Amino acid sequence: MALQPGSSLKEAFPVFAHHRELVFLDNAASCQKPVVVLEAMDKLYRTSYANVHRGVYQISEAATAQFEGARQDVARFINAASAEEVIFTRNATAALNVAAASLALGLKAGDEVLLTHLEHHANLVPWQEAAKRHQLVLKFIPVTEEGRLDLSSIDELINSRTKVLAITATSNVTGTVTELDKLIPKAKAVGATVVVDAAQAAQHLPLDVQALGCDLLAFSGHKVFGPSGIGVLWGRMELLSSLPPFEFGGNMIQEVSYESASFAPPPARFEAGTPPIAEAVGLGAAVKFIQQIGWGAICDYEEGLTRYALEKLVAVPGLRLIGPSTPEARAPVFSFVLEGVHPHDVASILDGVGVAVRAGHHCAMPLHKRFGLPATTRASFTIYNTEEDVNALVSGLAKARQMLAL
């Protein structure tokens, strides 16, 4: 089957055969899984499951080959210089915790870490904790009323005291695609280490870590059509080799005595214990699935879908969109409030007509407070969504207004 974004792509996702009327618009939280991912994991469990790296018997070596093959698939997906730069973690949150905790050990009191007001809690709270422990100073790039980064004071924010820039590539609330091409060179020019949270970007935009020039980058498997329970922390080998491990135990050691231990080189240094073996294989299948569709087709399709959704949503009476009102540098993630209706009630009414959306603060409470809101309803689209799905969302919002006599 030729893979093209749109309605025909739903045939690759078994959930849509099981729930034929489902309009799934919670892709910013987690995507559905194509059959190739399910089959890859099932095949491993049925035919060659064993623990990896340790066994010299046949099925252990087969499992290890598949596990390390998935690492190579991910390295190609993000254009890493080598597969050894790819570390498998539990999810993007775990990866960002490793980044913050390990980098903070090399910082001193008064050093500045620059974040943005767009950050997910996973790229904010670890740095808050690191700042407490190491007396660091957190600074923030503010956002405009439209939800884009306000770079008017960037030359003051990025200075000789800036040691880390930790920034999202795409906001999971506003859909904003941040100006990494401008910010990373500025941070590198003052000697700062750059950490990119690509959890929301990985399903929408091609990631080229070498071209970006960042030092560390994180994303989750479940947001790129892979399984939950696995994430990726990519890092430049020079940096990874200098960072201390975050967890300790089996697989990550080089030599151990009763008095001390020395640690293996990356990536094993950061992969203590039995890793997520089948999940890694599933992630490898997922990124190959994306590459089979092709980034050109994905970006073109999602740009058109974003444009269409914006036109329809801004025309809904009483709807306030939180985020850019134009499709440029924007992902198909739409957080909004409907005047007079609590976001959870909007989500509940939409569920009644088969439209699945998210309601809440989307793990970005400070950003919601910035816009004076406790919560929003969020509809997020991906490659298997269509203009018909947009229409179903808008029709559901009209029903919500009608039910509540707005």
Give the residue numbers annotated as catalytic, written as ranges: 363
Alpha carbon 360 to its chain centroid, in Å, reads: 18
How far apart are the C-alpha atoms of 325 and 310, rounded to whole Å? 7
371 backbone dihedrals φ, ψ, rounded to 5°: -95, 10
Distance CA 385, CA 56 (A): 45
**Token pair of 151 as six digits:** 């770079």
- The residues, ordered by sequence, that sit 6+ positions from 149 with a Cβ below 8 Å of its Cβ are 116, 118, 141, 142, 143, 176, 178, 179
Closest residue by Cα to residue 44 from 271, 249, 227: 227
Sign of CA dihedral 18, 20, 26, 27: positive
Strands (E), 117-230: 137-141, 162-168, 193-197, 216-220
CA distances from 120 to 60, 213, 368 (A): 38, 22, 11
